[in-house]
A and B are shown apart, each in its own frame.
Chain A
Amino acid sequence: MMNQKDNKTPWADSLIASYAAKPESENLGELRFPTRKDEYWKYTRTNQIAKNSWSFQDAEISSDQVENAIDGIKNCVVFINGKFDAPHSIELPKGISVANTDAAVESFAAEKPFNPFRILNEALPQTCLDIAIENNTVLDEAINFVFIYHGKDSVANPFNRVKIGANSSVKWIERHIHIGEHATFGNVCTQIRLGENAYCGMDILQSGTGSSNHHEEIEVSVEKGARYVQNSFTLSGNWTRNNTQVSIVGENAEANLNGFYIPAQKELVDNHTIIDHQVAHCNSNELYRGVMLDQSTGVFNGKVFVRQDAQKTNAFQSNGNILMSDNATMNSKPELEIYADDVKCSHGSTTGQFDDEAMFYLMARGISKSTAQKMLVGAFAADVLELLVHEELHEEIENAIHKKLG
């Protein structure tokens, strides 16, 4: 290609130098962040992150700050800048273990990652959260994994490995909270392996600051008869990119990916999903909704692969967006790649604004414009909120949305 400007990462070398163990990944030396010429990053710039000089920070964080961040959250397992924080965490239930690490941990994936964010995470993780659930086990109580990011130019690479045995059921909440006024960069990777007939339910809440950057990669493989549910809520944060890739490798399995995002000011939220139907008789559902305020940008790219052997697949995808300001942008790209004939696949994408008549109806009844807006956004978000694994989060998220609408 002509004149392609690489997003060089000059900080990578000193980051590697400050890391205790020498990473083996040979790719890391020439780490380049993607540019908008990469199809996969067409709508999302990474140059701000590539330019900043990131380092591992052990900056002081007061107990108050942590408690403030986890206020009202029960059953916390806390990570601060990627490191496990025992004092604020509950005793870990059986099957869950955490290790602070300063060496690359073994990934579930057989292939080397090609995404530079993943390369960085794999080579330089600070912690490894292992969730290994034996066969025939039900973990009923919801655990909150709270990841706190703070400190000037701090980067954190938490790595989570989840293995759920056959016929087991697990659910948890993942919270990513960026605090303080400094630029932070959270670079998370979660790998999930679901055994036969297992269930995994996960709600993700992301909140950030005006200078936070958050990249989250979730890679799931779903075995026969298993069911995977993931709901992600991006409530704030300057730059957020979520990549979710689900491979359905066993028959009669199901994957559900849902999300809601409400960027304001100059925030950007980018959700990329890939669902790979490799075998027959499986279902997948996706519902992503977003409300774009001010000068914010929303991106959705949902890809559904149906391979030749994946007959009788049902794959549904829906992406709805509301632009609340003339300076907001939404880029939506729902994709289907289908190689099997006996399938039902559909996707829909809409971008628009509130129904004037609905607004008029409410305002004619003496409801103020801002309350009416809140009601309508609430109703729009409700379709996603109804799918929450942990119903108790409903109110919390709704409040956060209302707060955002001002």
Chain B
Amino acid sequence: MASNEEEILREVTDSDYKFGFTTNIDSDKVEKGLNEDIIRLISAKKNEPEWLLEFRLEAFEQWKKMEEPDWAHVNYEKPDFQDIHYYAAPQPKKKLDSLDEVDPELLDTFNKLGISIDEQKRLTGVAVDIVMDSVSVATTFKEKLAELGIIFCSFSEAVQNHPELVRKYMGTIVPKTDNFYAALNSAVFTDGSFAYIPKGVKCPMELSTYFRINEAQTGQFERTLVVADKGSYVSYLEGCTAPMRDENQLHAAVVELVALDDAEIKYSTVQNWYPGDKNGHGGIFNFVTKRGLCERNAKISWTQVETGSAVTWKYPSCVLKGDNSVGEFYSVAVTNNFQQADTGTKMIHIGANTKSTIISKGISAGRSHNSYRGLVKINKNARHARNFSQCDSLLMGDRCGAHTFPYIETENSTAKVEHEATTSKIGEDQIFYCLQRGISEEKAISLIVNGYCKEVLNKLPMEFAVEAQKLLSISLEGSVG
């Protein structure tokens, strides 16, 4: 389908191409708007090789001809793409002198999440005199990783230092014209992360963007590429449980995972961006394209906890190309107030004996809408493919919505595909039981919700899981009564 679409696109867009503009603007903030000059400028600022500039320009050419998709079950005001700064050199944040200057509401949340004082200072941009633990930790980690031959750096560094790897894999999983937002990202991405695990190496620690302090502000068009070479293993953490007060309204990231023969990638995300206020004003649009490719005997496992953003639109997918490969998707999506989430996965079974598991837990409260949208496709040659999907929705309040849109396409008689979905609310008897034992209603709800999501939370790395549990309770605060 994708290649077919691409062909059509190419046909339609086979128009002439205007080269030859150079630009001499030398400020650190480019004016608003998106055009070829801006893209050339971004590329030049980052000192990128010619092929990457071509990649960007081609993506931009295609993007101009694409329409913003509107099939998702979300309503929002479409962003004005000419009203965005596509390049701004990292702005030094205003340094605060002490935590007293920080929004007390934010500090309150930090305390509930159990984030240490030092960490809180770092997150809020308070100047710290002592060397923070995590900085030294990061350096030791980097040394240790380098010993094993693991490359873990920012995308820009990777382009400079390992262009052969980046060029080989970038855009192979998510083609630059895959969809509207992926094309936009391909044209204007500013930075992101890159990880390469060499053959047979088991990465000894969780790779996390969290440790790459310098690169914390990767901007709104982030690009991640993780390549696990034959027989390797890596666990990658994205995001952070701490609330991110980002100024950018639109986030369109692209994540590509490549798991070569016998490799395994575990990719965990906790997303807690600003969801807008209680009346539904503001908040971040999170339109992400995430996809992984599994070669023979490889395994990719996506785990996500989505609590933030005003509009989420995200389908981490697995292309199970190699025989015996495995794809997993575990998701908890929580929406409250006026949040909208349309999230799910695609499991494309191509190889024989491929297996996939989908566990999706949606929780909607307030006036929010939470949809699961997924595709399970068993191709003709995927003999003995196996899929199990379970999508549960929990509704809290009578103004919210929970929806399920699963697509199940089977073209092989030896495949076994199962899908089930349920929708329910928290039982009054469950609440009553807790209240009787002196547990407040709010606590009771958090208890029940955590139990409901346990299957997914169990898949997260330990520290992450603890934080995610607390995060769930905070996200649902004020949703009862």
Which residues of A pack against B, CB within 8 Å? Answer: 1-3, 39, 43, 308, 311, 321, 323-353
Contacts and interface: CB of A to CB of B under 8 A. Distances in A.
Given A337-B401, A338-B393, A341-B396, A351 B420 contact: no
Contacts of A325: 413
Contacts of B412: 323, 326
Nearest to A307: B401
5 contacts: A332-B409, A340-B395, A349-B408, A349-B417, A351-B415
B419 interface: yes
B398 A311 contact: yes
Contacts of A353: 413-416
B369 to A, nearest CB: 9
B9 A2 contact: yes
A336 B405 CA distance: 7
Nearest to A1: B67
B404 interface: yes
A323 B395 contact: no
Contacts of A349: 406, 408, 417-420
A328 B413 contact: yes
B403 A337 contact: yes
A330 B65 CA distance: 34
Contacts of A335: 403-406
Contact of A331 (B393, B401, B407): B407
Interface string B390-433: 00010111111111111111111111111111111100000000
A331 B419 contact: no
A214 B416 CA distance: 30
10 pairs of A and B residues whose beta carbons are closest in the complex: A341-B395, A323-B413, A332-B408, A336-B404, A351-B410, A345-B423, A351-B417, A348-B420, A352-B416, A349-B419
Given A308-B398, A333-B406, A344 B417 contact: no
Given A334-B419, A342-B398, A345-B422, A323 B404 contact: no
B421 A333 contact: no
B225 to A, nearest CB: 29
A349 B389 CA distance: 9
Given A3-B8, A352-B417, A331 B409 contact: yes
B402 A350 contact: no
Nearest to A309: B398
A341 B408 contact: no
Interface in B50-89: 65, 67, 71, 73
A132 to B, nearest CB: 38
B12 interface: yes
Given A3-B11, A327-B380, A343-B425, 6 more contacts: A325-B413, A334-B421, A338-B393, A338-B395, A339-B401, A349-B417
Contact of A338 (B380, B403, B411): B403
Contacts of B399: 308
Contacts of A350: 416-419
A346 B422 contact: yes
A338 B402 contact: yes
Contacts of B12: 2-3
A329 B417 CA distance: 13
Contacts of A351: 378, 408, 410, 415-417
A325 B8 CA distance: 32
A321 B410 contact: yes
A333 B422 contact: no
A336 B403 contact: yes
Nearest to A340: B398
Nearest to A303: B405
B444 to A, nearest CB: 17
A149 B422 CA distance: 42
A332 B413 CA distance: 15
Contact of A336 (B67, B396, B421): B421
| Residue from B380, B399, B411, B415 whose CB has the most chain A CB atoms within 10 Å | B411
Given A39-B71, A352-B417, A334 B410 contact: no
B423 A346 contact: yes
Contacts of A332: 408-410, 419
A183 to B, nearest CB: 27
B420 A333 contact: no
Contacts of A326: 380, 412-414
Nearest to A308: B398
Interface string B364-378: 000000000000001
Contact of A341 (B71, B398, B415): B398
Given A323-B412, A329-B411, A351-B415, A341 B421 contact: no
Contacts of A324: 413
Nearest to A299: B409
Nearest to B11: A3
A342 B404 CA distance: 17
A323 B420 contact: no
A334 B404 contact: yes
B421 A344 contact: no
Contacts of A346: 420-423
Contact of A347 (B71, B400, B404, B416): B404
Contact of B419 (A1, A3, A348): A348
A338 B401 contact: yes
Interface string B2-17: 0000001101100000
Nearest to A297: B411
B207 to A, nearest CB: 37
Contacts of B405: 333, 335
B406 A334 contact: yes
A344 B397 CA distance: 14
Nearest to A346: B422
Nearest to B423: A345
A347 B413 contact: no
A333 B403 CA distance: 13
A342 B408 contact: no
A255 to B, nearest CB: 18
Given A2-B9, A336-B423, A340-B398, A330 B404 contact: no
A5 to B, nearest CB: 11
Contacts of B406: 333-335, 349
A343 B408 contact: no
Nearest to B421: A347
B407 A333 contact: yes
Contacts of A342: 398, 425
B139 to A, nearest CB: 50
A205 B31 CA distance: 67
